[in-house]
Structure 1
Amino acid sequence: MTTVYFDTSIIMNESFLRSAYAQAILKACSLLNIAVAIPDIVIDETLGNYPKKLNVKARAYEAARKDLAKIADLEAPAFSKEGVFDAYEAGLNALLEKHEVTVIAYPDVGAKELVEKAYECKKPFDEKGIGHKDYIVWRSIKDHIEDGDAQAPHIFLTNNTRDFCDTDDNDNVILHDDLSSQIADDALKPKVYTSLKAFYDAELLPNLEGVALADIPDLNAETLDELTSAYLGEELPQRTAYGIEGVPFSNEVSIVHYGGHQIEDTQLSEFEDDVIIEVSGTVEIEVTGFVEKHAFYLDDEEGLSVNVIDGDWNDHVMLVGTTVETAFVLSIVYSKEDSAVAGYNLSLPQEIDAYADY
């Protein structure tokens, strides 16, 4: 039986496990007899970060609601946070219980050990000795493996590549040697995936029953293309990223317009009443961002391939834009019981994310 461990970054990236895609993954793990284990500290980090994210989104919603009300008749109600956290916590606990997720207890780690390990500056600590929560996450997983409480092979899902990971000669993400060297048996060392999507493609999809699009009620190639267009149109405008491959600027890139798309491949997998439809292809997007003025003027003779929107944004940078074609993968969760889409997940493989602390 494979055992897969979730880090906080993975949970937060999937709407705190509220997305239909994440819940479909948990269901597929249950059906394929893959054990899911989450360190208790990850649960605590998740519950600690949820109200922070909720506050950020609520403030943004309220600001937008007030601005719209100034220029148009608006009936959108104010958002109340009362009871939201309690409902989320109860829902999370119910989800973990439903899919028989193991919650790994905190390891027996004292303050003295944390201080000593911090001064060693080995992963998951950084060069300044910061990383005590990551250390507890790792010790939870390591102890769970070594105590014989879980069966190999082991898989670690984390997007925190800075503190847990390294790359091999082929640029594949692997567990950092500071960590993998702590487990003597190579067969017990966890394989790393940096997203649920990567885990699904490599570990779940090959073991799920395939299904043809013609077997799905109310779906065909035309309606799938329409759904793809609608979801790209909903998700892409105003999406931000640290950078996107092929875009000659980074740090704060905003997608402001979605052009056309081209579907190149479609894969379907079925488990119980759910179908995951993976649609991949390319999409044309218009993006904006900032470049240093000196970089713009001192670049090669042809200059940067961008349009200047505001050449005097401030003393140091100018606002620029460009249009690029980039890859997309749209994972649609379809409920056969309801004959309707339950949710979807959109990823841009060429999107570059800055590191986020959790």
Structure 2
Amino acid sequence: MATVYIDTSVAINESFLRSPYVEAFLKACKILQYTVVIPEIVDDELKGNYPKKLGEKLSAFQKAEKDLGKLIDLDSNALTFSDAVDAYEEWLADLLEQHGVMIAPYPQISPKELVEQSYKLNKPFKNSGEGHKDYIVWKTILSGVINQEQPPPNLFLTNNTKDFCGDGSDGAHILHPDLAAQIENPDLRPRVYTSIKSAFDSELAPHLEGITLDAIPDLGNVDDLVEETLLGDLPGRTLYGLEGIPFSNEITISSVGLQSIDSVTLKQVDDEVVVKVIGDIEVEVDGFIDKSNYYMSEEVDSNMYVVDGNWNDHVMFVSSNTTTPFDLTLFYSLTSKEVTGSEITLPHEIEDEWPYK
């Protein structure tokens, strides 16, 4: 069956592999006998970047806690930074072992090779010559593909599309030609997915056993669950941009309105049910626009409202409304008979180019 290679960018974007989608994905891979491979450098990058991200979030939390403590009495247990880091590393090792994830060792690369390759400026190196860690990731995958005993296909999960990918004829991401040329057999060249979710939906879900809503009455009313989840998650969410909104770069969903559901599909993964809901929702979005752009525009978008025309010397605070598609996944445990997690994506979200969210 297939072999799945996971890059650092995807692993970090999935909350350092702690997202509910990861658990379902790894369970499904085990059921379908897909081999999941994480290069050792990715494992090391997770362990190296986790303390940095934890430190950022902890500082923000402590500041908010301090401000809140001026208003109310707080009774919270102190979080020990070192204990949290140790707990994550132990949890990560258990996760990979439990699901049979293979750690592919570092390839045999000399410092001289890294330097020489950086000057050739072939992918995955950037034009600046940066990309040593990406090169190690690629050489790990290349070694696995060339020496693999498993039949194809191979899947490569990366959100670092600028360094690993090119564009296919249909606009979808494909392996960059510089990298594809290193694998002589086209059947062995990995298919690219930019998230755990996209790989799950396209590669795994079609082969998983379906289940009906009648079989899980404890799930409750799907419409109510969807409304509750959207209302709890979307307000306050920041985005780079959203189709239908005439401004971008750090916009915020301030409120949501009515939603409609187009489809509901369920797939059973071991003791878990993955409920996928597709629909549309009304959103109000706030953000900023340069005064110069606003006043120099030949025609101001009728769907943009000025909330504060003098936010500062340079920008105006504006708002807009649109109806946008949503893709909601609920994770339901058949054992505990409760929803254990959710993930919401907005297909019309416009993302920035930085791969590590």
TM-score computed with the length of structure 1 as normaliser? 0.95
More displaced 10-residue stretch of structure 1: 88-97 or 110-119? 110-119
Equivalent position of 1:86 in the other structure: 86
Task: Output aligned runs, 1:1-358, within 5 Å.
Answer: 1-220=1-220, 223-303=221-301, 305-356=303-354
Secondary structure of residue in 2 paired with 1:84: helix
Q: Take 1:285 and 1:343, find their aligned partners in 2: how far apart are those partners?
A: 23
The alpha-carbon deviation at position 167 of structure 1 amounts to 1.1
The alpha-carbon deviation at position 218 of structure 1 amounts to 1.0
Q: Take 1:47 and 1:3, find their aligned partners in 2: how far apart are those partners?
A: 23
Secondary structure of residue in 2 paired with 1:262: strand
Secondary structure of residue in 2 paired with 1:162: helix
The alpha-carbon deviation at position 75 of structure 1 amounts to 3.1
AA paired with 1:30? Answer: K
The alpha-carbon deviation at position 259 of structure 1 amounts to 2.1
Query: Are the counterparts in 2 of residues 296 and 303 from structure 1 also a CA contact under 8 Å?
Result: no
Q: Take 1:65 and 1:174, find their aligned partners in 2: how far apart are those partners?
A: 45
The CA RMSD over aligned residues, in Å, is 1.6
More displaced 10-residue stretch of structure 1: 282-291 or 64-73? 64-73
Q: Deviations over 1:130-181 (max 9, x none)?
A: 1111111111101111122543110001111111111122211111111111
State, as a whole percentage, how many aligned pairs show the same letter. Answer: 47
Runs (4+) off by over 6 Å: none
Query: Are the counterparts in 2 of residues 65 and 76 from structure 1 also a CA contact under 8 Å?
Result: no
Query: Which structure 2 segments of 5+ residues have no match?
Result: none
